[in-house]
Amino acid sequence: MKDVDLICKLNKDWQPDNIKIKKAGGQTNRNFIVQHKNKKFFVRLPWETSVIDRNTEGKNILALSRNKKLREILPKYYIYILRGKNILSPKGEKFNLPDGTMVAEYILGRIFTASLFKIKKYQERLARMFYVFHTSGTRFNNKYNVFRDEIEKYRVAAKKYPIQKIISPEIIENLNKIEKEAALMVPIKKRVPAHNDFIFQNFLIGNNGKIYLLDFEYAGMSEKGGALYDFAFLFADNLFRKPTITKELFEKFLRVADKIYRQSLDRNQIWWLVATVAVMQVWWGLLRYFDVKTKKEKKYFKDYVLKRAKGILDLYKIISKKMGLVHTSPDEIRDAFNNSFRKLQY
């Protein structure tokens, strides 16, 4: 069935000849902006094969929708289909559509960018949005541990494919070593609601000036790193993109966040979590490489994997050359990571 026909199933008033559909990107979904008369909606159709647990995501969207503290930073959610029903509606309307099909408010605005991140007022708004989310008291349906819930899951799934065509056994061995070291350095913390996919594409600046948080496919009650994992994810993801965020710029943002959170965010924990995110992205990227079909997509994910694999190995090499990774003071670890970031950003 064509996407337009699936979209029309979501509203009895929507017909192919009275709606306008615009594609809106997406890697784990097909995303669209749908206009009916003068009103626009965000519509998401999931791919049939996905690593996302739609049952967990749906229950988390329901928890978010019920939290009044989050209304200033989230779009309104109208439909989330799970087991053939809209779980966001008291009536539970039935739909013959895949789990994870979703309709939300379309907010007019623009995606956050690295250039905006350089501006102090936007750093303050972003940190404020982080704080509202992390302190909202939202109780997600699932516990989240990046080592268990992503790295291990992706590694096991990826090893079903001929991954040696992309990365060598030596790199795989080193990734496993770094993962074990990082797991030791990141203790279990009090669980807090975490997004676990803090990338600029998931931050929307509305025309009203507010920053909205999007896409909760990986959300959960974080127990490894807590809220710090979200900060680390933001930096790690931008280490390997152009334009990159420098360590100095990220540190300025952390100082802004320190004031808003009324505490000094643990830098050593953040640096170790940055390394953790990079390891996770290598395994995720390998899975995506074998999942996509076109040469363009395969080239993108091959480059994605190799850039991160090289970056994380260089990072580990720089630190371990200077000192043992475990028996070091927090200040030594911090300084080593700071020097590493300058060499990694390219």
Q: How confident is the model at residue 324 (pLDDT cuts 50, 70, 90)?
A: very low
Structure tokens at 15: 């017909």
Considering the domain architecture, whether residues 281 and 234 belong to the same structural domain is answered as yes
- At residue 256, the pLDDT reads 98
Last residue of a domain, one of 51, 75, 106: 106
Percent of the chain clearing pLDDT 90 (strictly above)? 72
- At residue 346, the pLDDT reads 44
Residue 95 has pLDDT above 70, yes or no: yes
In terms of residue numbers, what domain contains 130?
Answer: 114-344
Average pLDDT over the chain, rounded to an integer: 89
Residue 344 has pLDDT above 80, yes or no: no
Residue 270 has pLDDT above 80, yes or no: yes
Considering the domain architecture, whether residues 135 and 71 belong to the same structural domain is answered as no
Considering the domain architecture, whether residues 221 and 264 belong to the same structural domain is answered as yes
Mean pLDDT of 222-229: 94
Last residue of a domain, one of 50, 75, 106: 106
Residue 103 has pLDDT above 60, yes or no: yes
- At residue 135, the pLDDT reads 97
Mean pLDDT of 288-312: 92
Mean pLDDT of 236-244: 84
Considering the domain architecture, whether residues 129 and 97 belong to the same structural domain is answered as no
Residue 315 has pLDDT above 90, yes or no: no
Considering the domain architecture, whether residues 158 and 271 belong to the same structural domain is answered as yes
Mean pLDDT of 231-246: 88
Rounded CA separation 28/46 (Å):
7
Instruction: Choose the weakest-confidence range: 43-47, 76-80, 227-231, 323-327.
Output: 323-327
Rounded CA separation 342/111 (Å):
27
- Amino acid, single-letter form, for residue 138: T
Residue 310 has pLDDT above 70, yes or no: yes
Supply the pTM of this predicted model: 0.88
Instruction: Name 50's Cβ contacts closer than 8 Å, sequence gap at least 6.
Output: 28, 29, 100
Considering the domain architecture, whether residues 223 and 96 belong to the same structural domain is answered as no
Considering the domain architecture, whether residues 226 and 163 belong to the same structural domain is answered as yes
Residue 326 has pLDDT above 50, yes or no: no
Q: How confident is the model at residue 325 (pLDDT cuts 50, 70, 90)?
A: very low
Please state the domain count of the chain.
2
Considering the domain architecture, whether residues 288 and 305 belong to the same structural domain is answered as yes
Considering the domain architecture, whether residues 188 and 335 belong to the same structural domain is answered as yes
Rounded CA separation 327/65 (Å):
45
Last residue of a domain, one of 71, 106, 141: 106
Q: How confident is the model at residue 3 (pLDDT cuts 50, 70, 90)?
A: very high
Considering the domain architecture, whether residues 169 and 314 belong to the same structural domain is answered as yes
Instruction: Choose the weakest-confidence range: 42-46, 55-59, 325-329.
Output: 325-329
Q: Say which CATH number the domain at 86 has.
A: 3.30.200.20
Mean pLDDT of 72-81: 97
Residue 328 has pLDDT above 50, yes or no: no
Q: Say which CATH number the domain at 227 has.
A: 3.90.1200.10
- At residue 321, the pLDDT reads 54
Considering the domain architecture, whether residues 7 and 144 belong to the same structural domain is answered as no
- At residue 330, the pLDDT reads 45
Considering the domain architecture, whether residues 64 and 136 belong to the same structural domain is answered as no
Mean pLDDT of 25-52: 87
Whether the CB-CB separation of 23 and 32 falls below 8 Å is answered with yes
